Amino acid sequence: MSALGDMTGGMREWIVDPRTLWPLVRKELRDSLRNKWFVLYTIAFGALAVGLAYLSQLGTGYAGLAGFGKTAASLINLTLLVVPLMGITMGALSLSAERDRGLLAYVLAQPVTRTEVFLAKFIGQSIAFTGTIAIGFGISAMLLARQGTADGALFLRLAGLSVLLALSMLAIGMLIATLVRRPGAAIGTAVFAWLCVTLFGDLGIMGASAMLRLDVQPMLMLALANP
């Protein structure tokens, strides 16, 4: 009977009740929108996206296609640098900060499962990050549309890939938070992981291409393998 009870309790941890999940998602979304770091990231990302779109259009004249290409390239570079940092640091803070203040223990003491709590945190922050990326890309698209150089389909693809990048780094940040208990140590680990993935990965690809004189196809495979 004891073994059966343990098995039932273990299975209960993996059960997700939508009636419990969605209130937790709304709570996490509210907490994200009130978080000063998230607000700062949103303002910075939006301002940088708009600034890059404006600067890329300067001096283009009637070469609208060239101007849009410069804007898209600038937004890709911005996304590869800023979005992973946003996702991994906010993911690391989402668990470690609440654990440090005792809020996570309080929530888990309620009739909820760990799966519901962690899934609600991921979904709530995912919605918040999707809004942040939509604001940055949306304002940039409107700025370009005024000059008749926007490509809506390409912008949607870039925004969608940016959201997927943010969600993957958010998951890595939450994984770090489950392994590192203190908020300061979690943030330090998250920033180091961001440096390894973003900077060291790109530098490694460039160094390998220069030393080994790689062709386009091996370079593409290395770039796709870069997390």
Which pTM value belongs to this model? Answer: 0.78
Confidence at residue 4, expressed as pLDDT on a 0 to 100 scale: 40
- What does the alpha-carbon distance between residue 86 and residue 41 come to, in Å, rounded to a whole number? 7
Confidence at residue 57, expressed as pLDDT on a 0 to 100 scale: 65
- The maximal CA–CA distance of the chain, rounded, in angstroms, is 79
Confidence at residue 127, expressed as pLDDT on a 0 to 100 scale: 92
What's the chain look like in SS3? CHHHHHHHHHHHCCCCCHHHHHHHHHHHHHHHHHCHHHHHHHHHHHHHHHHHHHHHHCCCCCCHHHHHHHHHHHHHHHHHHHHHHHHHHHHHHHHHHHHHHCHHHHHHCCCCCHHHHHHHHHHHHHHHHHHHHHHHHHHHHHHHHHCCCCCHHHHHHHHHHHHHHHHHHHHHHHHHHHHCCCHHHHHHHHHHHHHHHHHHHHHHHHHHHHHHCCCHHHHHHHHHHCC
Q: Which residue has the higher pLDDT, 140 or 27?
A: 27
**Minimum mean pLDDT among 2-11, 126-135, 164-173, 187-196: which range?**
2-11
CA–chain centroid gap for 181, Å, is 21
**Rg (alpha carbons) of the chain, rounded to whole number:** 21
- What does the alpha-carbon distance between residue 150 and residue 68 come to, in Å, rounded to a whole number? 7
C-alpha dihedral, 105 to 31 to 167 to 69, nearest 10°: -160
Confidence at residue 126, expressed as pLDDT on a 0 to 100 scale: 92
Query: Which of these, 93, 129, 124, 92, lies nearest to 25 by C-alpha position?
Result: 124
- Count the residues in the chain: 227
Confidence at residue 37, expressed as pLDDT on a 0 to 100 scale: 84
Confidence at residue 14, expressed as pLDDT on a 0 to 100 scale: 66
Confidence at residue 67, expressed as pLDDT on a 0 to 100 scale: 54
* Angle between the N-to-C axes of helices 152-179 and 64-101, in degrees from 0 to 180, rounded to the nearest 10: 20
The mean pLDDT of the chain is: 77
Q: Is the pLDDT of residue 90 over 80?
A: yes
Q: Is the pLDDT of residue 125 over 70?
A: yes
Q: Are the CB atoms for 161 and 72 separated by under 8 Å? A: no
Confidence category of residue 63, pLDDT binned at 50, 70, 90:
very low
Query: Which of these, 151, 144, 166, 147, lies nearest to 45 by C-alpha position?
Result: 166
Query: Which of these, 161, 180, 160, 192, lies nearest to 94 by C-alpha position?
Result: 180
Confidence at residue 82, expressed as pLDDT on a 0 to 100 scale: 86
Confidence at residue 170, expressed as pLDDT on a 0 to 100 scale: 92
